[in-house]
Amino acid sequence: MRVGCCGFATAQEKYFHTFSCVEIDSSFYHLPKIETAARWRAAAPEGFEFCLKAWQVITHRASSPTYRRTRLDPREHEYCGHFGFNPTIRWAWNETFAVAKELGASLVLFQCPQSFHPKKENIARLRRFFEHAKRGKFHMGWEPRGKWDAELVGSLCRELDLIPVCNPLATQPVAVGKVCYFRLHGTTGPQHRHTAEELERLRKLSEGRQATYCMFNNVAMRDDAQRFRKLLGPLAR
């Protein structure tokens, strides 16, 4: 069981000696430079794992308010998002891929917006992207949001060799792939602190699964992740 946070939740050196993995979340808004990724990799202890959130240029339309933090030529905006396999999105994936390779990432996460509904057009876009996008040694994780049927998610993940990503305290996990990847958003919003009952439920949901990642993504993520590690005892990494 690997437990970590979505972003360095404390000073980087301290984080490296507290947790066994991290999800680089800032890359969703703007990718770090290759030199920065190399420094992170070099500073991390042996066995430490990086996961990377894919650049939103691939997944989100430029009309999303999250683009306020993304530095991108406005002329590219009309081509962004929803897995359109055009030159802009292929370039964005190549840039994301290069950072993931430099980090030696274990998984790259593609988080979809709520507006990416399970329509035929969107499913076709998803298929085209993952059938043609180059692959690395890392897993490809897909976090659908909104009203995606679990059976459809599982079927697409098997077909496209993806790891289904979810918050298991809010959505029933889909058991597909060689690893399991959970993202613990606050159940009532980012200010939410996970209760002892929620952490115990998470522990039970994680039992018997191979190579499970539990990434906390709320304001209290450092404290909640440490509490969960303590609950897991020797099962935690």
Residue 225's pLDDT band (boundaries 50, 70, 90)?
A: very high
Q: Are 107 and 179 in contact (CB under 8 A)?
A: yes
Domains recognised in the chain with CATH numbers: 2-235 (3.20.20.410)
Unique residue bearing structure tokens 């459809």: 152
Per residue in 68-88, pLDDT (tens digit) is 888 888 889 999 999 999 999
Contact (Cβ atoms closer than 8 angstroms) between residue 99 and residue 37:
yes
**pLDDT, mean over the chain:** 93
Alpha-carbon distances, residue 117 vs 15, 92, 169, 191 (angstroms) = 36, 22, 22, 27
pLDDT at position 59 over 90:
yes
Comparing 56-65, 69-78, 219-228, the range with the smallest average pLDDT is 69-78
